[in-house]
């Protein structure tokens, strides 16, 4: 780790941002640009968003650009021909940059199972991994965290909820935790009945009340699957049994999560709903750097409210608990079925309420297997998605 508690460092921390054209990735580039003396953008990578990747390369001047899709690579390569930048193509290149000596930290913002291979390659070589990709730990948390421990690779949470817990646990390593409390906004359909959910549209589902996120994450938020994924992620990140992880709906999204200790005291991390704060905390850890954006004004929040999630109307949350408790390949199956179902919903082929139905069916018919390596997990993901029908 190249950034310590003083300024006597050889060079800024060099960051590889995987998924730089998504919502989290674009915000990460803003954060890195704020602190050129401490953070340096070394790599940007995307699947196929050629135009935005070209724009980012010309604006932020990374040393390396990676494009997974070959058609997009040709466009990017030609557009950056006059720039002082190396352009690479393919998934293998995406993984290779995670092992380069010119990189000090990998930030994974890739959505879905596509983030699994590069994340594993990063920790397997001892590379610090800042992780905004929930699915990596949901699908293969045991393998990823075991590998990270074996190779002394720090895994730093970027999700606002896990960052909040991480911050609350700072300095508390000798104090037993009684409970982790993950907060949820409730998503676009908080308070809806099952009958109302039958009528919602994609446009409705993408109207998150507080956060600016990508479409897949926003839909997961609306179904509460997002919270289910976060519960599983928290289990692995903080080595916490499921029975000690709770979810609480907090519509204002001011308290990002809480930790309750054995003496009954509760620590909470508060802030405005802005992902740039947890992104920066992970990239600069253990430093807290200036962030010139909105501050929390308590006079605007005279009421902070809390309620239990409606597990009857939103069954995805309990499915995640059960899949994680079952272990083996079940979390992978659940995640794959959810990814496929969300895609079908976004394509207009199923209703919103079909998402939990499809996940339930996939779990009920899943083979009883325990993946042993990354390729096993990816094969199970592909097999599950092939079975899922609208």
* All structural domains of the chain: 13-157 (3.40.50.720), 161-382 (1.10.1740.10)
Q: Residue 328 and residue 321: Cα distance in Å, rounded?
A: 13
Token pair recorded at residue 180? 């982790």
Q: Which residues contact 20 (CB under 8 A, 6 or more apart)?
A: 26, 28, 29, 44, 45, 46, 53, 56, 109
Encode pLDDT of 48-101 as tens digits: 999 999 999 999 999 999 999 999 999 999 999 999 999 999 999 999 999 999
pLDDT of residue 10: 67
Q: Which of 152, 128, 131 is nearest to 141 (CA)?
A: 131
pLDDT of residue 111: 85
pLDDT of residue 189: 95
pLDDT of residue 212: 65
pLDDT of residue 80: 97
Q: Distances from the Cα of 285 to the Cαs of 118, 128, 135, 228, 229, in angstroms?
A: 21, 11, 23, 27, 24
H/E element, 116: helix 116-124
Average pLDDT on 8-30 reads 90
Q: How confident is the model at residue 211 (pLDDT cuts 50, 70, 90)?
A: low
119 cis-preceded (ω within 30 degrees of 0): no
Q: Residue 125 and residue 123: Cα distance in Å, rounded?
A: 5
- List the beta bridge partners of residue 155: 129
């Amino acid at each position: 780790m190249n950034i310590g508690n003083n300024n006597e460092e050889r060079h800024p921390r060099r960051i590889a941002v995987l998924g730089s054209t998504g919502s989290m990735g674009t915000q990460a580039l803003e954060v890195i640009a704020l602190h050129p003396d401490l953070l340096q953008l070394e790599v940007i990578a995307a699947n196929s968003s050629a135009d935005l990747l070209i724009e980012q390369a010309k604006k932020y001047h990374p040393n390396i650009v990676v494009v997974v899709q070959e058609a997009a690579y040709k466009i990017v390569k030609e557009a950056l021909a006059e720039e002082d930048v190396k352009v690479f193509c393919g998934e293998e290149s995406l993984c290779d940059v995670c092992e380069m000596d010119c990189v000090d930290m990998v930030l994974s913002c890739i959505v879905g199972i596509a983030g699994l291979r590069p994340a594993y390659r990063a920790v397997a070589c001892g590379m610090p991994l800042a992780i905004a990709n929930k699915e990596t730990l949901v699908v293969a948390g045991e393998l990823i965290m075991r590998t990270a421990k074996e190779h002394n690779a720090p895994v730093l949470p970027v999700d606002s909820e896990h960052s909040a817990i991480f911050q609350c646990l700072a300095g508390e390593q000798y104090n037993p935790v009684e409970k982790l409390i993950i907060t949820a906004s409730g998503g676009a359909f908080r308070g809806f009945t099952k009958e109302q959910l039958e009528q919602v549209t994609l446009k409705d589902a993408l109207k998150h009340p507080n956060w600016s996120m990508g479409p897949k994450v926003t839909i997961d938020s609306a179904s509460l699957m997002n919270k289910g994924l976060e519960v599983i992620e928290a289990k692995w990140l903080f080595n916490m049994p499921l029975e000690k992880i709770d979810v609480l709906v907090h519509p204002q999204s001011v308290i990002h999560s809480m930790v309750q200790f054995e003496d009954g005291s509760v620590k909470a991390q508060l802030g405005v709903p802005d992902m740039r704060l947890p992104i920066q905390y992970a990239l600069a850890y253990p430093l807290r750097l200036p962030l010139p954006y909105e501050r929390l004004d308590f006079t605007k929040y005279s009421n902070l409210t809390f309620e239990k999630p409606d597990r009857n109307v939103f069954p995805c949350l309990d499915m995640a608990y059960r899949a994680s408790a079952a272990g083996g390949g079940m979390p992978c199956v659940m995640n794959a079925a959810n990814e496929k179902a969300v895609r079908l919903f976004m394509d207009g082929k199923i209703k919103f309420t079909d998402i939990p139905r499809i996940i339930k069916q996939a779990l009920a018919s899943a083979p009883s297997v325990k993946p042993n390596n990354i390729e096993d997990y990816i094969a199970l993901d592909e097999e599950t998605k092939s079975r899922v029908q609208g």
